[in-house]
Each structure stands twice: as structure tokens, then as C-alpha cells.
Amino acid sequence: MNKYAVIRPEEIVNQDECARFGLEIDQAIASGVKIIVVDCEDVRYINSSAIGKIVEAYMELSEIGGAVRIVKAGDFVRRGFDSVGILSFIELCDSLDDAIERGL
């Protein structure tokens, strides 16, 4: 069993992509991972439902000592995360290696 899962959303995380994104998160948690890394390198837009899914994952994983980390978020996506306040409790990392190393 992996201790972590890396999820790479599409460039535009709208309602259709959000369903796939949420399913990936749910499957990762169900598989027993403790750390979910959301790689936002290709993401230009992420909707509020997807941000809500990240928060739900954080809440579920934090109960078992796990975490959610966000990597490579561009300025626009980072501002979206910051505007809803999740960067106050979800760590933003510069690289995938950094996000994984902090969690192991």
C-alpha cells in the first residue's frame, strides 16, 4: 500500500472534471493512503466544488493523521485557494518531491 497518492487534475476543473477529480480522491482515501498530493501544474481554473472536495479530503485524512498537499499551483489558482482560506491549513509545496518528503 502506498502512503501517498498524486492526483493531477485537468487544465480546467469545471463541473464535469470535478466529478472525475472527486472520484480519484475518494478512491485514494478508500485505498488507505494517508497523504494526497494535488499536482496543479497544468491547472488554469478550479471551481469551488473541486476546492470543496480538497477540503473534505483534508478533513477526512487529518482525522487519521494524514494530510493533503498542493503542488505547483499557478498564481490564478493559488489566489483562488487563498481567497477561500484553505492555504491556512493545507500546505502549498513547490515540488512533488517536497510534498512527498514532508509527509513521510
At 91, give phi and psi (nearest 5°): -75, 135
Distances (CA, A) of 11 to 1, 87, 100: 29, 20, 22
Q: Tabulate helix, strand, coil % of the chain (nearest 5).
A: 50, 20, 30
CA 95, CA 70: separation in Å to the nearest integer? 9
CA 104, CA 53: separation in Å to the nearest integer? 23
Q: Tell me the pLDDT tens digit for each residue of 5-30.
A: 999 999 999 888 899 999 999 999 99
Q: Tell me the pLDDT tens digit for each residue of 25-78.
A: 999 999 999 999 999 999 999 999 999 999 999 999 999 999 999 999 999 999
This prediction's pTM: 0.92
What is the DSSP code (8-state) at residue 89? T
69 contacts 102 by C-beta, under 8 angstroms: yes
Q: Other C-beta atoms within 10 Å of 87: how many?
A: 15
Q: Which domains does the chain have, with CATH numbers?
A: 4-103 (3.30.750.24)
